[in-house]
Amino acid sequence: MPVHTVKDVNDLDTKVPPHLQHVSISNLKLTSDCLHRSVKGKVVQKGPVVSCRQREYLLKAVIQGEDPQQRSASQHASINVIFFGTLAKDFSQSVSQGDIILLAGFTISKSPSEQTDKLHPCHLEMSGPDACVHVCPSAGSSSSGSTTSEPKYTYIPLSELKPRSIVNVYGVVTFFKQPFPTKGTDYCSTLKITDQSNAKVGCTIFSEKLEDHPKIFRVGDIIRLHRVKAQMFNGSMTLLTTLGWSTITFDGMIDSPVEPRTSSRTFHFDEADKHTVEALRQWAASQSLLTSESTVPLSSVQPKMYFDLTCQLLSKACMDSRCILLKVWDGTECGHSLLNVAAAPDALEGESTCFQDQQNMTANILVYDNHLEVARMLQPGMFLRLYNLHAVPQTPPGQPPDVPQHLVFHLHGGTSYGRGLRSIPSDSPDLQSLKRVLESHAEKQAAEAEVNDGTLLDVWYTPPETVGEADTEDFYTVQTCDHSLQQVSLAHVKTSIPPVVCHVQARVKSYQPQKLYQCLKLFCPQCKTVKDVPDDESIAQVFEEALRSSNQPCSEHWAVTSSADSHQLDRTVTMHMSCDMVLDNTHLQMIFLQGVTLDEMCIISGSHKNLVPVCSGEDRRMRLLDLSAPFLFCGDKRYYGCEHCSQSSFVDPVVSGVDVWDEQNVAKALGVQLMQYMLLLQFELEDETGTLDALLWEDAERFFNVSSAETSANQELQDRVQNIMDRIHPSGSSMGKTVLYCNNTPTSLY
């Protein structure tokens, strides 16, 4: 170890290597020969070990020459010493403030802090294999363990700060922003603090590690800052972090535990610090700096408002490179309908939100831009606090404009008004009431799950396997539902005057279509048209026809165009992008492609989000392909427009002011009425009184527990539908093997 301990100060001169020649601190110069030289002094200041980019560890200390006459005759009797690498860690563990040390193997450099600390114009750097330290512990540090060697810190009231001074302070947080990335490698967080002196001071904190930034949860929290620099900025006093700075924060609520929040494993905290925190809490409460309700529950949220939300993360999904979806709840039911943002099943991470969705308790939050890095680190089950969250009213996808709007929540980019998000430790005092509410809902959900038959096909009761000769007796699978309607026969339903809701028990005798891929339909919510999803052969013919009739690239004033030769020599592939989106650097979110085949479009869409196939007319104006083909390709998904209701126009598509380019916004910009995917099946039900045809349509997604849109491009979901139908009506049976208890009308099954 490069730090050697001696018992007596005289041993520093007698036991150190004889080839080392002592030189006084005041005589050190940049031109001094450091080889075989040593410097002796008293440690008057010792900083913590910190990490830095250039070297793994760093520690700064100040040593002072021992000769009193030398100290009085020269203002350069004290000098900064920088220790690097493992020597910094060894020095921190072995040397205390007040110890006498002898340094060897150092180098001399110009001090960058000479004008502010008024110390020696040079500083010493201790690194490399030749650097070593000999230390003689002071009487205080070598005494019994009851005496602490940790330094006593002096804290300056905020009203007494002086420019260019390095200080330690306590304060109450009156404003804060979560850390955000700078143009360099650091993160920056800003806050404003005050204390009993009523001075208000801004703080700017830089650190390349997020975990080193102060853990502030709400206005009114208490913060302690060590080794920060005071300076004037725009006429106001500001605190900036310097080498060796550190911070600890505390909850600002009176009577809450005084527990430090910090990522540091070692820090100084004693009874004096505890009294300081408690005094600041009492003073802040008397000044009304800490509000009783720092966040707004979902039950109190109103459209278009900005608010802070404390909640638990249920699940999350990455929507694209600029947006992450968070599904959260706080145990309260929102007074407005909440929008359920669909995400691909393979992209969704976390538990199902079905229970919360049914209670209108799931808040769907779209997180953008500089908040993505924090959002990526979140795990389902964590407790969160989101600041300056925006409640955005939005029409549900595929619904007409007159349908009541639902709420979806946006955490916009930027840090205005403290906008951001962070995780909250589960043992935080702020979370105790929230956790009690969530636990009560969890107990209710568990109790309902024990006997809940309300969702069809959640649980299937199948007969046991037989041993030996197979039993030819028909077995039945029974699923019940929970309601108070009296059960009636199918004959009674036939004689009823529609519309009517009935409760029947019946077997599934047959169903149509037998080829289940044919049950996926396209539905226009405006004109109510239902049509089959076109097959690839029909779509490919539309693309081929466009190639034959469109030879010249489109020419539009609102688009920029580039071309590339296809593998077929007589054809050119042209790409068009909106000029406005190019300026906003969002042009890759929607690309118009001309001169491609269906196969080429499928290949290209695998690596791009929104691709719109187009062709040109005789006037070289851009046009969509025939709407019997998809107007939008997004990965494996295809989206269709209604041929009757669409009013496609490329005069000047509106592409500004859109946060996320999904199929809804693309269709709106192109003047296309988006068609919805839906599942449509016809059952032939049978009981002792006769048969009845029933359509499974509006509730088909709930019946199969799948999304129609996702099923169109997901083989796993298609297999799920097939497996359920195989259970309802096993192949090779003489009749339906499933008995359903269901609510139905003569024309639909619910």
Q: Is pLDDT at 595 greater than 90 in this prediction?
A: no
Residues 6+ apart with CB under 8 A from 381: 312, 313, 350
Q: Which domains does the chain have, with CATH numbers?
A: 3-136 (2.40.50.140), 165-287 (2.40.50.140), 298-435 (2.40.50.140), 487-515+680-744 (2.40.50), 523-678 (no CATH)
Q: Is pLDDT at 204 greater than 90 in this prediction?
A: yes
The reported pLDDT for the residue numbered 72 is 52
Mean pLDDT of 625-645: 88
Q: Is pLDDT at 146 greater than 60 in this prediction?
A: no
Task: Return the bridge partners of 58, or none.
Answer: 50, 84
Mean pLDDT of 680-695: 85
Give tens-digit pLDDT for 422-445. Answer: 998 888 877 888 888 888 887 776
Buried b (16+ CB within 10 A) or exposed e, 687-716: beeeebebbbbeebbebbbbbbbbbbebee
Q: Is pLDDT at 190 greater than 70 in this prediction?
A: yes
Question: Measured on CA atoms in the order 14, 18, 20, 23, is the torsion positive or negative?
Answer: positive
Task: Return the bridge partners of 238, or none.
Answer: 202, 231
Distances 664 to 11, 402, 527, 658 between C-alpha atoms, Å: 81, 16, 17, 11
212 secondary structure, DSSP code: G
Q: What is the mean pLDDT of the chain?
A: 79
Give tens-digit pLDDT for 147-169. Answer: 334 456 889 999 999 998 889 99
Q: Provide the pLDDT confidence category of residue 650 given band limits of 50, 70 and 90.
A: low
The reported pLDDT for the residue numbered 291 is 60
Rg (CA), the chain: 36
Q: Is pLDDT at 320 greater than 90 in this prediction?
A: no
137 secondary structure, DSSP code: -
Between CA 714 and CA 706 the distance in angstroms is: 10
Residues 6+ apart with CB under 8 A from 726: none
Tokens representing residue 415 in the block = 């840090």
Mean pLDDT of 192-205: 93
Mean pLDDT of 108-137: 86
Q: CB of 231 within 8 A of CB of 172?
A: no
- Maximum average pLDDT range among 53-57, 250-254, 363-367, 515-519: 363-367
The reported pLDDT for the residue numbered 657 is 65
The reported pLDDT for the residue numbered 693 is 85
Higher pLDDT, 520 or 563: 520
The reported pLDDT for the residue numbered 541 is 87
Q: Which of 20, 576, 48 minimizes the C-alpha distance to 262?
A: 48
The reported pLDDT for the residue numbered 139 is 65
Percent of the chain whose pLDDT exceeds 70: 82
Low-confidence winner among 118-127, 578-587, 706-715 (lowest mean pLDDT): 578-587
The reported pLDDT for the residue numbered 275 is 92
pTM above 0.75, yes or no: no
The backbone torsions φ and ψ at residue 132, rounded to the nearest 5 degrees and listed phi first, read: -150, 160
Between CA 413 and CA 416 the distance in angstroms is: 9
Q: Is pLDDT at 655 greater than 70 in this prediction?
A: no
Give tens-digit pLDDT for 340-358. Answer: 888 877 788 887 777 777 7
| Phi-psi domain of 237 (left: phi exceeds 0; alpha: psi -120 through 50; beta: other) | beta
Mean pLDDT of 18-45: 85
Task: Return the bridge partners of 103, or none.
Answer: 39, 133
Higher pLDDT, 448 or 426: 426
Q: Is pLDDT at 479 greater than 70 in this prediction?
A: no
Low-confidence winner among 275-284, 419-428, 440-449, 527-536 (lowest mean pLDDT): 440-449
Distance of CA 655 to the CA centre of its chain: 26
Tokens representing residue 97 in the block = 């403030």
Q: Is pLDDT at 472 greater than 50 in this prediction?
A: no
- Maximum average pLDDT range among 50-64, 146-160, 555-569, 598-612: 598-612
Is it true that the peptide bond before 653 is cis, omega within 30 degrees of 0?
no
Q: Is pLDDT at 18 greater than 80 in this prediction?
A: no
